[in-house]
Amino acid sequence: MRFLIFSVVFSFVMGLMNWYVYTRFFKKIHFNIQKPARYFLLSLFGIELLFVLESRTHIFPDSPLLYYLLSLSVGITVALFFVTLMYDLLHTVARKIPFNTERRQFIKVIFDVTMLILAFSYLLRGLVGGLKRPVINHVEIEIRNFPFESFLIAQLSDVHVGRTIGKEFVQECVERINAEKVDMVVITGDLADMQIEHIKESLAPLKALQSRFGTFFVLGNHEYFHGPGSIIAYLKTLNITPLLNENRVIGNDTEAFNLVGINDLISKRMKVMPYDVEQAFKGIDNNLPTIVLAHQPKSTLIMEHKRYDLMISGHTHGGQIFPFGLLVMADQPYLAGLYDVDKNKQIFVSRGTGYWGPPVRVLAPSEISLLHIGRKY
C-alpha cells in the first residue's frame, strides 16, 4: 500500500511538473519547438514512470547504466521545472515594463535565447556535478574544554550505496580517508539504499577504514526502508560500531569525550528500532564534552533539554539541486555547514557523500567532511 501511494503521488508530481514546463516555457518561447518539446516531455514522463516502477520491483536487468538513465529523467524534469519558474517570474515582470511593440519583440527573442542557454547550462552543470568525486571539506570546530589539542574526524554521510553507487565509489572514499590519518570515522546514516544482500560487496571496502579510535555509525531514514537490523549486523562484520541510542567514551584516562548516537527520527513512524534520547544519554559522564551523531539536523529539537557540544548530521544533501534547498529548509532547521544551535551547542551538517534519486547536483557538491576539532579557551 505504501508503494502504491508513493507511486501515485510521484507520478502526479512528475506529470504536473512536465505539464508546467511545456505550458509555461516551451509553449511560450519565440521559437517553434512546441511539437518536439511535447514529444520530449511525454517521453520523459514515460521514463519517470518506468523509474518508479523499477525502483521498487526491479523488473529490468540489473544494470547500473540503465538505472542511471532512468533516474536521470527525474533530474532533468526538476531542473527544467526550476528554469521554468524563473522564466515565468521574469516574463511576468517584463510584461509590466512599457516597450513599443517592435522593441518588445526583439527583447523577447533575446530573453528566450538566454533562457534556453540557461536551461541547457543548468542541466549540464547538474550532470557534471553528479558525476564529480566528492570534495574534501575541511572544517575547523572549537569545543570548550575539549580534552584533545587537535582531533580529526572524517565524516561520511548519505552515500546511498545501491544501484548506481557501488564498490568503486566506496573504495575511493576509503582510500581518501585513510590518506588523511584521521582519529575517528563517523557515518551519519543513509549509507545503504538497497537491502543488504544486494550491496554487501559494495560495502566491503569499509572494513579497510583506518583511524585511531575506530568507525562509528548511526541509522538514517533510508536504512529503515531496507531492513535496519540486517544492515547493522553486516556493518559489525566490517569493524564498524553502530551507536543505537547509546554512548561511548572516546579517548583515555587523561583525554576523553562522550560520543552519543541517536536512531533516526523516522523510526517512530516505521515502528521499529525507535529513537530514545534518554536511553542514548543514559549513564553519560556530564563532566566530559559530548559529540552527538544524528542523521537529521532537526534532531536538535528532540534534544533541547540535553547538554552536548556538537552534533554531526547529514540528510539534507545541501539541497542537492539548487534551489531545492529552500524546500528542504522548510523541514530542516539547518541545510549545510556549521551552525550555532545556541551559545553552548553547535551542529555540522554534511552535504552528503553520494546522491539520492537523480544523479544530479547543482551548487551543492558532494563531500567527505574532515572535522578538525580543537579546544576553545
Q: What's residue 64's pLDDT?
A: 76
Task: Please say which residue of 88, 105, 131 terminates a domain.
Answer: 131
Q: Are residues 190 and 305 in the same domain?
A: yes
What's the rounded mean pLDDT across residues 334-360? 94
Residue that finishes a domain, picked among 131, 156, 178: 131
What CATH number is associated with residue 227? 3.60.21.10
Highest mean pLDDT, choosing among 89-103, 122-136, 189-203: 189-203
Residues 122 and 169 in one domain: no
Determine which of 65-79, 170-184, 207-221, 236-250 has the lowest per-residue pLDDT on average. 65-79
- Domain final position from 131, 151, 177: 131
Checking if the pLDDT of 224 tops 70, the result is yes
Residues 126 and 250 in one domain: no
State how far the Cα of 304 lies from the Cα of 324, in Å rounded to an integer: 27
293 DSSP β-pair partners:
261, 312
Q: Residue 274 phi/psi, 5° resolution? A: -70, 155
Cβ neighbors of 166 (< 8 A, separation 6 or more) are: 64, 199, 202
Please give the distance of CA 369 from its chain centroid, rounded to a whole number.
13
Q: Decide: 295 and 188 in contact? Cβ < 8 Å.
A: yes
Within this chain, do residues 261 and 325 fall inside the same structural domain, yes or no?
A: yes
At 291, the amino acid letter reads I
Please give the biggest Cα pair distance in the chain.
Answer: 81
Give how many domains the chain has, as a whole number.
Answer: 2
294 vs 314: CA distance, rounded Å? 8
Q: Same structural domain for residues 151 and 107?
A: no
- What's the grid cell of residue 371? 572535522
Q: What percent of the chain has pLDDT over 70?
A: 96
Asked whether the predicted pLDDT for residue 57 surpasses 90, the reply is: no
Q: Where does the chain show beta strands of DSSP type E?
A: 135-144, 150-156, 184-188, 215-218, 240-242, 246-251, 256-261, 290-293, 310-313, 337-342, 345-349, 367-376
Q: Are residue 121 and residue 174 in the same domain, yes or no?
A: no
Residue 280 · residue 262 · CB < 8 Å: yes
Torsion of CA 368, 177, 165, 171, to 10 degrees: 170
Within this chain, do residues 283 and 242 fall inside the same structural domain, yes or no?
yes
User: Above 90 in pLDDT, residue 32?
Assistant: no
- Return the pLDDT at 143: 96
| Backbone CA torsion sign across 56, 62, 66, 68 | positive
Using the Cα atoms of residue 129, residue 132, residue 134 and residue 139 in order, give the sign of their dihedral.
negative
pLDDT for 59: 67
Question: Do 100 and 183 reside in the same domain of the chain?
Answer: no
* C-alpha closest to that of 156 among 221, 197, 209: 209
Structural domain harbouring 226: 135-376
Phi, psi for 290 (deg, rounded to 5) = -130, 130
| DSSP characters over 326-352 | HHHTTT-S--SEEEEEETTEEEEE---
Average pLDDT, the chain: 91
Query: 99-120, pLDDT tens digit by residue?
Result: 666 676 777 788 888 888 888 8
197 and 86 part of one domain: no
How far apart are alpha carbons 318 and 128 in whole angstroms?
Answer: 17
Residue 28's pLDDT band, with cuts at 50, 70 and 90, is: confident
Please indicate, yes or no, whether residues 68 and 100 belong to a single structural domain of this protein.
Answer: yes
Per-residue pLDDT at 118: 84
What Rg do the C-alpha atoms of the chain give, in angstroms?
Answer: 23
My answer on whether 59 and 139 are in the same domain is no
Do 261 and 181 lie in one domain? The reply is yes
